[in-house]
Amino acid sequence: MTNQYVHGYSHRESERLADQARTLTELLHHDTRYPPGSRVLEAGCGVGAQTAILAKNCPGALITSVDISAKSLKKAEENIRSQGYTNVTFRQADIFSLPFAQASFDHIFVCFVLEHLPDPRRALENLLPFLKEGGTITVIEGDHGSAYFHPDNADARRAIDCLAELQRRGGGNALIGRQLYPLVSAAGFRDVRVSPRMVYADSSRPELVEGFTNLTFTAMVEGVGREATGHGLITEEAWNRGIAALYRTAEQDGVFCYTFFKAVGRR
């Protein structure tokens, strides 16, 4: 899940966003702490949003972050270097043909990657041999079908369904979060434990309402409007009503719920 919607923020808005990012980081990552000296593979680091969190939370770990895109990797490396972290090595690589010896890593970390892959199980099966016996894999994904809200609204639900349908047509799966347990288990990992991480936003939590409901989730849905109407998945009128209804959930008496899923398995 990426935030594709960037305003010119005031200072106060920037602070709120930073609060939101901290809250979400804590929710998803507080219990991922790899010990000093452990070798960690981050598979699919993208532009390094999670890499920075790993590097910070696990200062003594030796992190190797790979991505298939040289362009993303360059950005990730600049991001990490600019923050002064020295515990990350970057390498351009495809998850399906990794340039490492088998059993090279104590831990593997895969965050917001599987949702984009046509065959996420095969990706996990390909990662398994690179883990040492007893090592862990951590997988984190969202689930767009976990979104519900007050006031409820049929057009808003349809707009979210359009996003999921577009992701499906692109070979991905927007409902993958709830599937992590069977997916990671079927790929051959054992002792799989999944814990849901629910984001709950009402007006007593303004940093989440602004940072998550508006600027992360609704902005993400809004970002595919042209594509959704262009493919005839929904009329422009229904789309606009749906987006307005999503923003409506961020008002004083609104509520928004969304759940991420975190799975940990063992080789």
Give me the residues that bind its own copies (CB under 8 A), please: 143, 145-146, 148-150, 152, 175, 178-179, 181-182, 185-186, 192-196, 198, 200, 202-204, 252-255, 257, 259
Q: Shortest approach of its own copies to residue 167 CB, angstroms? A: 14
Q: Which is nearer to its own copies, 11 or 190 (CB)?
A: 190
Q: Shortest approach of its own copies to residue 238 CB, angstroms? A: 19
Question: In a 3-state reduction of DSSP, which class is residue 198?
Answer: strand
Q: Shortest approach of its own copies to residue 162 CB, angstroms? A: 16
Q: Which is nearer to its own copies, 86 or 204 (CB)?
A: 204
Q: Which is nearer to its own copies, 25 or 146 (CB)?
A: 146
Contact 129, 154 (CB under 8 A): no
DSSP 2: -
Q: Supply the DSSP string of 82-112, one letter for each residue.
A: HTT--SEEEEE-BTTB--S-TT-EEEEEEES
Q: Shortest approach of its own copies to residue 110 CB, angstroms? A: 19
Rounded to the nearest 5 percent, the helix, strand and coil shares of the chain are 45, 25, 30
User: What is the Cα–Cα distance from 70 to 121, expressed in whole angstroms?
Assistant: 24
Q: Shortest approach of its own copies to residue 97 CB, angstroms? A: 28
Contact 199, 134 (CB under 8 A): no
Contact 213, 256 (CB under 8 A): yes
Q: Which is nearer to its own copies, 64 or 173 (CB)?
A: 173
Neighbours of 37 (CB within 10 A): 9
Q: Which is nearer to its own copies, 9 or 200 (CB)?
A: 200
